[in-house]
Amino acid sequence: MSIDPTPVSFVVPGEAVGKGRPRVTTIGGHARMFTPKKTANYETLISMAAQQAMAGRELITGPVLVELKIAVGIAASWSKKKTAQALAGDVKPTKKPDIDNVLKAVCDGINGIVFRDDVQVVNVSMSKRFAEVPGVRVRIVPLEGEPS
């Protein structure tokens, strides 16, 4: 069985949402864990974008590189000067969401769609910058080697 070496690329539109911590509630005296609604909605958006990108392609079964380019929107209240500096990369987005939590949300959102499980992720490349249009560019690159 040959491995399709073509990367899978797609864009998740809108502001990135980091994976939220599971919440606990009690129902009828029993503890129940659930994923916060904002996280669940974002993972659904990621899944939909990934399904379109896969377009009937087989799941990647071997090791992968995950590349994320997170584009963070600029506050409308910022001056033209600060906005220009942000777009030039001189001002970095040191605000929520945490870059590692966005990775977790993306990996969970594409489990079973692009690859079998996120244990296949062996390399990661991530960046977070300001942009006029917020979104996350995702690229999954199959790496050489036998399927796991």
Domain holding 83, by residue range, is 8-142
The pTM for the full model equals 0.87
Among the listed residues 22, 24, 117, 20, the one whose alpha carbon sits nearest the alpha carbon of residue 66: 117
Structure confidence by residue, pLDDT tens digits, 40-58: 899 999 999 999 999 989 9
CATH number at residue 109: 3.30.1330.70
- Cβ atoms within 10 Å, residue 9: 12
In a domain, 54, yes or no: yes
Residue 2 forms part of a structural domain: no
Q: Which pLDDT does position 34 carry in this prediction?
A: 75
- State the residue for tokens 């692009």: 114
CB atoms within 10 A of CB 101: 17
For a pLDDT cut of 70, what percent of the chain falls above it?
A: 95
- pLDDT on residue 3: 67
Q: How many domains does the chain have?
A: 1
